[in-house]
Amino acid sequence: MAVVPTAEASSGWLDRLAREVVDAGAPGVVVRVDDGSGRPVEIAEQARWARRDHLLKASDEFRVGSSTKTVMATLVL
C-alpha cells in the first residue's frame, strides 16, 4: 500500500514543481491542495515577465469559458 503524503508534507515538493513549470516557460502556476486534515496548501508562482499586469495570488479566480470540460478534466487529473 502506497503512503500518500499530507498536503503539508507535499508543500516543499509542490513549491519546487511549480517553480520548474514556470522556469520551463509557463507564465504562472496556481496550486491548491486540500486533503481535509487541516489548512490547505496554496502556491502561486509567476514568471517575472508576467508580473507587470497582475501579481498572481493563490486566491485568484479565472473564467474558463467554452473550454470548461477540458479544463475540469485537466484539473481532476
Q: What is the pLDDT of residue 22?
A: 95
The C-alpha torsion from 50 through 55 and 56 to 59, rounded to 10°, is -160
Structural domains of the chain, count: 1
Its sign, for the CA torsion 8, 9, 15, 20, is: negative
Would you state the pLDDT for residue 61?
82
1 in a structural domain: no
Residue 66: inside a domain:
yes
| C-alpha cell at position 25 | 516557460
Distance of CA 50 to the CA centre of its chain: 16
Q: Residue 18's domain spans which residues?
A: 7-76
pLDDT for 64 equals 66
Inside any domain, residue 59: yes
Tens digit of each residue's pLDDT, the chain (77 residues): 444 555 555 678 889 999 999 999 999 998 888 878 888 889 999 999 999 888 999 888 877 666 677 877 777 77
